[in-house]
Amino acid sequence: MSLGQITPLAFQRTVDASTGTIVTQLTPNGSVCHRNYFYQKCFTEDGNKLLISANFDTNRNYHLLDLQNESAIQLTEGKGDNVFGGFLTTQDDALIFVKNNKQLIRVDLKTQEHNVLYEVANGWVGYGTWVPNSDCTKVVAIEIKDTDYMSLDSWEKFAQFYHQKPRCRLISIDLNTGQRTTIFEENIWLGHPLYRPNDDNTIAFCHEGPHDLVATRMWMIDESGDNMRKVHEQDDDESCTHEFFVPDGSKMMFVSYRPHMDKRQLCSVDAQTLAFKVEAEMPACSHLMSNHDGSLVVGDGSGTPVDVSDHDGHTIQNDPNLYLLNLNTGDIRAIAEHNTSWTVLNGDRQINHPHPSFTPDNKSVLYSSDVNGSPAVYLASL
Ligand SMILES: [Mn+2]
């Protein structure tokens, strides 16, 4: 196979036994397929095309799935694709992704022509998910000193890496010129860089590591590197994770949880004033994502978190459901069971995470699951 290759798919429709929700499996059993990271753009604006990662070729590469024709076209090839961090441009004309932790590449969706937008300097490694501003003219990114870097192919290494205090830098990359600007650099493991939608001067990032060891996870900083501020002052026993900006830029939402509690809180801060609010008491969802204005949120029920040091204290029953939270009415309901295993597969810690988000019309929820034996991509209708 190669670039432009079309893979026919046969969607499988089933009905969730407990809720009656129609669930459509988009990718075949026996393959390794998943969606990108939950806040990265994966649907074209019209909702007809969907970016996925699949191993239809030898390697795990990007493919653009056509939801009407039930087929997928291959966008990338060869080894080394960062298959979680890639995203479709705001203009719907390209995929942008990182290859071999080294090159930021633009792929034309029509021709699959590749252009290198930026190359990581010698001595550094491109890490994690890189996120564009609303105009898609810049991305924020994290780079780690190569002498400090290691492949994080298990949750044990995830913990170890935190204690190593790797040299990290938060950078912005101009996608027209390839110019890099360092915003902040420190011997602290940094992750989750985000541009606030419609406000390039507000950038968020996190202190990464076991959630119960990190004192303050979420930070914001001006694009100039000034005005670094805590997003939320955490209590001593409070863990925070999976922060995201509501797509209209109004708020940052995140999950807050504590030991010896099954329930979790969906919290938010006003993106401008940082005014804090508990949006909902909810089942133990790991990742959540909202619709455009933050009135609807979808979350993936989960089990005992693996990214904490006090495993016993955080032990909870596994919750296999996808949930819909209506923050206007306070209503929370199960959509369907995702039943994913959450297991690490071939050194990939994220592959069996549901990472749910809404389709552009808010009528369905996209997620990943290995419920049928291998990682696959699903849509659950609302
Ligand atoms: Mn995840």
34, burial (CB in 10 Å: exposed 0-12, middle 13-18, buried 19+)? buried
The 10s digit of each residue's pLDDT in 255-286 is 999 999 888 999 999 999 999 999 999 999 99
Q: How far apart are CA 341 and CA 220, in angstroms?
A: 33
In a domain, 218, yes or no: no
CA of 83 to the centre of ligand 1 (A): 13
The 10s digit of each residue's pLDDT in 106-130 is 999 999 999 999 999 999 999 999 9
pLDDT of residue 326: 98
The set of residues, in sequence order, having a beta carbon less than 8 Å from that of 59 and lying 6+ positions away, is 77, 78, 79, 81
User: Domain range holding 264?
Assistant: 237-337
In a domain, 369, yes or no: no
Q: How far apart are CA 220 and CA 241, in angstroms?
A: 15
CA of 352 to the centre of ligand 1 (A): 8
In a domain, 243, yes or no: yes
- The residue type of 319 is D
CA of 234 to the centre of ligand 1 (A): 21
The set of residues, in sequence order, having a beta carbon less than 8 Å from that of 217 and lying 6+ positions away, is 206, 207, 211, 234, 239, 240, 241, 243, 254
Q: How far apart are CA 84 and CA 62, in angstroms?
A: 10
pLDDT of residue 306: 85
CA of 353 to the centre of ligand 1 (A): 5
CA of 152 to the centre of ligand 1 (A): 13
Neighbours of 100 (CB within 10 A): 14
In a domain, 20, yes or no: no
Give strand pairing partners of 194.
204
CA of 356 to the centre of ligand 1 (A): 10
CA of 350 to the centre of ligand 1 (A): 5
Q: How far apart are CA 33 and CA 53, in angstroms?
A: 5
CA of 51 to the centre of ligand 1 (A): 17
Q: How far apart are CA 267 and CA 269, in angstroms?
A: 7
Q: Where does residue 20 fall: left (phi above 0), alpha (psi -120 to 50 degrees), or beta otherwise?
A: left
Of 115, 8, 108, 113, the C-alpha closest to 56 is: 8
CA of 37 to the centre of ligand 1 (A): 7
In a domain, 299, yes or no: yes
In a domain, 358, yes or no: no
In a domain, 328, yes or no: yes
Q: How far apart are CA 286 and CA 337, in angstroms?
A: 14
Phi, psi torsion values for 48, nearest 5 degrees: -90, -25
Radius of gyration for the alpha carbons in the chain, expressed in angstroms and rounded: 19
CA of 287 to the centre of ligand 1 (A): 7
CA of 342 to the centre of ligand 1 (A): 9
Q: Number of folded domains in the chain?
A: 1
CA of 286 to the centre of ligand 1 (A): 8
pLDDT of residue 196: 98
CA of 143 to the centre of ligand 1 (A): 20
CATH number for the domain harbouring residue 322? 2.120.10.30
CA of 111 to the centre of ligand 1 (A): 31
Of 353, 257, 265, 243, the C-alpha closest to 313 is: 257
pTM: 0.97
CA of 64 to the centre of ligand 1 (A): 22
CA of 232 to the centre of ligand 1 (A): 21
pLDDT of residue 155: 85
CA of 299 to the centre of ligand 1 (A): 12
In a domain, 199, yes or no: no
CA of 355 to the centre of ligand 1 (A): 6
CA of 137 to the centre of ligand 1 (A): 26
10-residue mean pLDDT series, the chain (382 residues): 94 97 98 98 98 97 98 98 98 98 98 98 97 98 97 90 97 98 98 98 97 96 98 97 98 96 95 98 97 98 90 91 98 98 93 97 98 98 97
CA of 245 to the centre of ligand 1 (A): 16
Q: In what order do the strands lie in the sheet with 251-257?
A: 239-245, 251-257, 264-270, 276-282
